[in-house]
Structure 1
Amino acid sequence: MLERLLTALMLTAAAAPALANDSIAELGTGGLVLSRSDVVAMEKEDLFISRDKVTVDYVFRNSSDEDVSTIVAFPMPDIEGNPYEMPSIPRTGEDNFLGFEVSVDGQPVKPELEHRAIAVGIDISDELKANNVPFYPFGEATTKALEALPQPVADDWLNRGIIIIDEYDDGSGMKKVRTPFWQLRSTYWWRMVFPAGKSVKVAHSYQPSVGGTVGLTFLDNGKFQGQTYDDYKRRYCLDASFERAVLKEAGKTADGSPTFYENRIAYILRTGGNWASGNIGDFTLTIDKGDPDSLLTFCGKNVEKIGPTTFRMKATDFYPDSDLDILILTRPGNASEGGN
């Protein structure tokens, strides 16, 4: 298991996304999956994570004496069509909503994209297509397509839990709007050959889904307490040094509230355990908090600071038995200034 380690540092120019609501959820995203991995080992993984970009550089090796032809996939995070819980989506309305890119041995690859829409555990993709309804559950195009549905179809979808009626007052009176309640599942995939006894370099990148909350959810009346605190202590390995740094900032304000808001990134490390032997020969994790005045905390082992905003963890014969959650506290007053 990963040992607890917290890195808490003060920073100055924060660059974090503006939040439309008090809280917005992050979407957990991971790495690549092979359809056949019994003889293909991951010799090396170099993982870089920041609020703006995730890059992963792999070296795979086919240990057999025969070429291996297989499908390599990148599962995109599922998107729930729920009007009450809008997730953080970097490129709203686009099929490639994370801006995913991939290359093999330095050559760009154009992967296939498979979209499926699921409602109550049932694949409804064909029904959406037949009624010209986009799979993407948010956006004006989907709203207009649902408005145009014949009433019998809309009634059927409502009864089956495919859509719901969202009621709200926009200032001009109550509105009743047909709203998606399905789940979008997206996967990029491509075919590739791992030559016998040779190494292959695969690299991919995307823009992460960064969750956020105005203020701090784990601080109540100037004290670290409550269910959220207990959860954060487990997920992000909060320790005494981090808590002291937060309280120090709280002491600078008239009401004792810290001048921070939360940025959260979830990375699914356990997808890295689906290779031959299950271990990663040489694993390097680099996290960039973006701005020197932010506070950063995550769980890791033998983490070292390698730059003003960057931290690195290295491991040999690494088995990813848990996922990675990263918490970055930034100052909302500096959100418009940008920074690296």
Structure 2
Amino acid sequence: MKRSLTLALLMSIAALPALANDTTAQLATGGLEFTRTDAISMEEEKLYISPKEVRVDYIFRNTGDLPVETYVAFPMPDIDGGPESNVDAGDLASDNFLGFSVVQDGVAIKPDLQQRVYSSDIDMTDVVAAAKIPMNPLSEQARKALAKLPQETLDDWQNRGLIFADVYDDGSGEKKEYVPLWTLKSAYWWKTSFAPGKDIQVAHTYRPSVGGTVATTFLDENNEAKGARFDEYKKKYCIDDAFVRLAKKSNEAMNANQPSLVENWISYVLTTGGNWAGPIKKFTLVIDKGEHDNFVSFCGEGVKKTGDTTFEMTATDYYPEKDLDILLLVPTGAP
């Protein structure tokens, strides 16, 4: 007799402070999460994060006496529509907007994709699909397709909360454009099985969603390391005195119309690691800052510099207690 379990790879949208039009938010990505089980352990996780790629390699083991047949899921981050949605969501023209791919035991898997459209927590997938409107609310294709709908349909969709009418004047007269308001929920999934005592290797890659600003923003109006935003950054990214000095110098350079630094952020959900049997027995984290002249700060214990752009942390019997947030200071030209 087989037991069934469900695995889920969860990702959530990171909440970030609003900084007017000079801010781009990012989508937090994360690792495989099991529903609570005593049958599957994570023997090893190797996590690599750079501004261009996330790679995760896992080794799982069925520690029980019976086979476990599962569905593995990779939910993509929710994509919210709206006139001021300012998020790096990858390739908006593609269903696989973060370029997710997965390999299990050396064999590439082509997972199924489920996409659903929601408005105020009501499933509107059938309504949008029947009208043949692309489901990504941030895509240009969706807006163009909305413009071709009959006015009667547009009025109905406004009443349902699916769209709104954006009225503006671009200098040539008043214009009206219908903008999606719905939320897209996407998930890749595939079926697999775990034999008793057998290791299963799962590897996946995708492009991170990198947010950022046009300046350094964690010092106060007097360019001092004070205030609520600085306290937040210190807790979230573990910034130190060296990072404060970099920000001060950068802000002074920017005010003098000289080359300065801008912030980039990457978030990764680590705390899903508490749902499998026991801790992660062997954990390796590699952060790659991307370019030699970038600066990086993140929270970790025993972090060592291992290359020109790479930093590594290792742990045994690891329980992730908080999610991972990475701050990059990236050089830019003069304004």
Residue equivalent to 1:150: 150
| 2:43 is aligned with 1:43 | yes
Provide closer, same or farther for how the CA distance between residues 257 and 326 of structure 1 changes in structure 2, counting only shifts above 3 A: farther
Q: In 1, Cα distance between the equivalents of 2:140 and 2:251? A: 41
Larger displacement relative to structure 2 (93-102 or 230-239): 230-239
Residue equivalent to 1:328: 328
CA contact (8 A) 1:112 1:190 kept: yes
The letter of the residue matching 2:331 is R
The letter of the residue matching 2:213 is T
CA contact (8 A) 2:259 2:331 kept: no
Residue equivalent to 1:16: none
Residue equivalent to 1:234: 235
SS for the counterpart of 1:208 is: coil
Q: In 2, Cα distance between the equivalents of 1:138 and 1:256? A: 34
The letter of the residue matching 2:56 is V
Residue equivalent to 1:15: none
Q: In 2, Cα distance between the equivalents of 1:297 and 1:272? A: 22
Deviation at 1:36, TM superposition (A): 7.0
Provide closer, same or farther for how the CA distance between residues 273 and 120 of structure 1 changes in structure 2, counting only shifts above 3 A: same
Q: In 2, Cα distance between the equivalents of 1:82 and 1:153? A: 19
Deviation at 1:52, TM superposition (A): 0.4
Larger displacement relative to structure 2 (241-250 or 43-52): 241-250
Residue equivalent to 1:315: 315
Provide closer, same or farther for how the CA distance between residues 174 and 204 of structure 1 changes in structure 2, counting only shifts above 3 A: same
- TM-score, normalised by the number of residues in structure 1: 0.87
CA contact (8 A) 1:33 1:72 kept: no
Provide closer, same or farther for how the CA distance between residues 73 and 163 of structure 1 changes in structure 2, counting only shifts above 3 A: same
Deviation at 1:100, TM superposition (A): 0.4
Gaps of 5+ in 1: 1-20, 335-340
The letter of the residue matching 1:259 is S
SS for the counterpart of 1:241 is: helix
Residues 141-199 of structure 1: per-residue CA shift (max 9 Å, x gap)? 21122122232332222122211112233342222111111111111111011111111
Residue equivalent to 1:177: 177
The letter of the residue matching 1:209 is S
Residue equivalent to 2:12: none
Q: In 1, Cα distance between the equivalents of 2:260 and 2:58? A: 39
Q: In 1, Cα distance between the equivalents of 2:119 and 2:54? A: 30
Q: In 2, Cα distance between the equivalents of 1:93 and 1:63? A: 42
Q: In 2, Cα distance between the equivalents of 1:143 and 1:252? A: 41
Q: In 1, Cα distance between the equivalents of 2:174 and 2:55? A: 45
| 2:166 is aligned with 1:203 | no
What does 1:1-340 align with in structure 2 at a 5 Å threshold? 22-34=22-34, 37-219=37-219, 220-250=221-251, 255=256, 259-277=260-278, 279-333=279-333
Q: In 2, Cα distance between the equivalents of 1:112 and 1:320? A: 29
SS for the counterpart of 1:260 is: strand
Gaps of 5+ in 2: 1-20
Larger displacement relative to structure 2 (141-150 or 260-269): 141-150
Deviation at 1:294, TM superposition (A): 1.5
CA contact (8 A) 1:112 1:188 kept: yes
Q: In 2, Cα distance between the equivalents of 1:37 and 1:168? A: 54
SS for the counterpart of 1:98 is: coil
Q: In 1, Cα distance between the equivalents of 2:237 and 2:197? A: 40
Deviation at 1:206, TM superposition (A): 0.3
Larger displacement relative to structure 2 (126-135 or 152-161): 152-161
How many residues are paired up? 313
The letter of the residue matching 1:234 is K
Deviation at 1:249, TM superposition (A): 4.3
CA contact (8 A) 1:36 1:70 kept: no
CA contact (8 A) 1:251 1:258 kept: no
Deviation at 1:35, TM superposition (A): 5.5
SS for the counterpart of 1:300 is: coil
User: Which protein, 1 or 2, shows the higher relative CO under an 8 Å CA cutoff with sep ≥ 6?
Assistant: 1
**Aligned residues: CA RMSD:** 2.0
Deviation at 1:317, TM superposition (A): 0.9
Percentage of identical aligned residues:
50
Deviation at 1:34, TM superposition (A): 3.9
Deviation at 1:254, TM superposition (A): 6.3
